[in-house]
């Protein structure tokens, strides 16, 4: 099975960047157009609220804009914090978005990993699982054309249907984003795919095991069901040394920005090597990156790899070069491995 490659962006921004927000967005859209042009399979965005150095509070609007700059790449959200959203309104937005993308939409849902976001709008984090499941059921029923009524403390729907329905029927491919085994099992029984990442591989194993058990016990015929995507920070360059040097510079810069301390190149380099050893960060030449992805496929059974190439202060030129290397150097190696050749 050949692994598909894509980008994942949490829209963290450099607080020292002099560009206004509209220009920052324009630069990100330009990168997505490049990813589309060079043939990457996916581009996912996150949802983040109430954070000064992030620009991801409106993923629906972002994907709508990206849909008009791209033509082939599949676009998605990882993930909507579902307990924060009114389900009928989000179901309508997603349906329209599916048409704007011309059927290229992927939709991820999560419980919300930052309690502050839920508390900020008056939601008790202890109720998030119940709200998630209720709202998921409402949305999928509406997409399937049902007239839905529900009267619960957190969710009130008074016998409504939505128009238009999604372009992809019965709805776009759905993802569950999270590393909790209970949630992963729940998602696997509903024909969803699983998105995991930013933890050590060994720490992701329980959720993958639970998801695969549920998927195998209750197979789904929904389009795109049952995939596993791994998200990792990635630094790629022509050589291992160049990639690690760039990664260490990024880490040093982020440390200085966050603490106001002086540069410590040795400490940054040691930290870079530790992250690589822990398999939470992939850095190296195209061969090294491809082999790390193939190792993750062997360990976790992934079919999609999403590279977060962004770090505050990384230049647009370097982002573009990493995007090209993923598409033109790493992807062919993965295809060769999938066809039985050597990576």
Domain count, the chain: 1
Domain housing 188: 4-338
pLDDT, position 265: 85
pLDDT, position 257: 72
Residue 47 lies in a domain: yes
Alpha carbons 18 and 123: distance in angstroms, whole number: 35
Alpha carbons 244 and 255: distance in angstroms, whole number: 16
Beta strand 174-177 with 193-197: parallel, antiparallel or unpaired? parallel
234 φ, ψ to 5°?
-135, 135
pLDDT, position 341: 57
Residue 123 lies in a domain: yes
Three-class SS of residue 148? strand
pLDDT, position 16: 80
Task: Evaluate whether 201 touches 299 at the Cβ level (below 8 Å).
Answer: yes
pTM beyond 0.75: the answer is yes
Task: Evaluate whether 133 touches 141 at the Cβ level (below 8 Å).
Answer: no
Alpha carbons 202 and 217: distance in angstroms, whole number: 24
What is the distance of C-alpha 55 from the center of its chain?
Answer: 15
Q: Nearest 5°: CA angle at 149, between 137 and 114? A: 45
Residue 90 lies in a domain: yes
Taking Cα atoms as reference points, which of 205, 164, 217 lies closest to residue 181? 205
Task: Evaluate whether 194 touches 175 at the Cβ level (below 8 Å).
Answer: yes
Residue 224 lies in a domain: yes
Provide DSSP, 10-58.
Answer: --B--TT--S-HHHHHHHHHHHHHHHHHHT-SEEEE----S-TTB--S-
Q: Is the pLDDT of residue 268 over 70?
A: yes
Alpha carbons 234 and 46: distance in angstroms, whole number: 17
Q: Is the pLDDT of residue 108 over 80?
A: yes
Three-class SS of residue 6? strand
Residue 343 lies in a domain: no
Tokens 């020292």 belong to which residue? 16
- The whole-number average pLDDT for the span 326-336 is 98
Confidence of residue 152 (pLDDT cuts 50, 70, 90): confident
**CATH code, 288:** 3.20.20.30
Least confident of 54-63, 192-201, 267-276, 334-343: 334-343
pLDDT, position 343: 38
- Cis status of the peptide bond prior to 270, with omega within 30 of 0: no
pLDDT in tens, 153-190: 878 899 999 999 999 999 999 999 999 999 999 999 99
Residue 46 lies in a domain: yes
Task: Evaluate whether 82 touches 111 at the Cβ level (below 8 Å).
Answer: yes
Give residues with Cβ within 8 angstroms of 133, minimum separation 6.
Answer: 186
HEC per residue, 43-96? EEECCCCCCCCECCCCHHHHHHHHHCCCCCCEEEEEEEEHHHCCHHHHHHHHHH
106 φ, ψ to 5°?
-120, 135
Residue 293 lies in a domain: yes
Residue 68 lies in a domain: yes
């Amino acid at each position: 099975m050949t692994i598909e490659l894509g980008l994942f962006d949490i829209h963290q921004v450099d607080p020292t960047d002099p560009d206004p927000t509209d220009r920052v967005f324009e630069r990100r859209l330009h990168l997505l157009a490049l990813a589309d042009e060079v043939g990457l399979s996916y581009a996912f965005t996150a949802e983040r609220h109430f954070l000064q150095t992030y620009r991801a509070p409106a993923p629906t609007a972002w994907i709508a804009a990206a849909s008009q700059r791209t033509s082939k790449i599949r676009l998605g959200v990882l993930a909507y914090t579902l307990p924060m959203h009114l389900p009928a309104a989000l179901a309508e937005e997603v349906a329209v978005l599916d048409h704007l993308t011309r059927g290229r939409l992927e939709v991820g849902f999560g419980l919300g990993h930052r309690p502050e976001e839920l508390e900020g709008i008056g939601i008790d984090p202890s109720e998030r699982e119940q709200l998630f499941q209720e709202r998921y059921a409402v949305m999928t029923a509406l997409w399937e054309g049902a007239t839905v009524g529900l009267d619960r403390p957190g969710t009130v729907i008074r016998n409504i249907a939505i128009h238009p329905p999604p372009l992809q029927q019965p709805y776009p491919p759905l993802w569950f984003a999270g590393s909790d085994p209970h949630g992963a099992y729940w998602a696997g029984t509903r024909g969803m795919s699983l998105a995991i990442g930013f933890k050590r591989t060994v720490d992701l194993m329980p959720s993958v095991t639970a998801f695969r058990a549920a998927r195998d016990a209750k197979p789904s015929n929904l389009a795109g069901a049952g995939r596993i995507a791994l998200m990792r920070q990635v630094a790629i360059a022509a050589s291992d040394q160049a990639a690690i040097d760039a990664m260490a510079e990024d880490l040093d810069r982020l440390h200085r920005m966050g603490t106001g301390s002086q540069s410590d190149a040795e400490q940054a380099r040691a930290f870079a090597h530790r992250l690589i050893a822990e398999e939470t960060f992939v850095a190296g030449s195209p061969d090294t990156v491809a082999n790390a992805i193939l190792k993750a496929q062997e360990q976790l059974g992934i079919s999609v790899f999403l590279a977060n190439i962004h770090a505050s202060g990384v230049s647009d030129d370097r982002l573009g070069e990493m995007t090209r290397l993923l598409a033109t150097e790493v992807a062919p190696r993965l295809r060769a491995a999938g066809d039985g050749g050597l990576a």
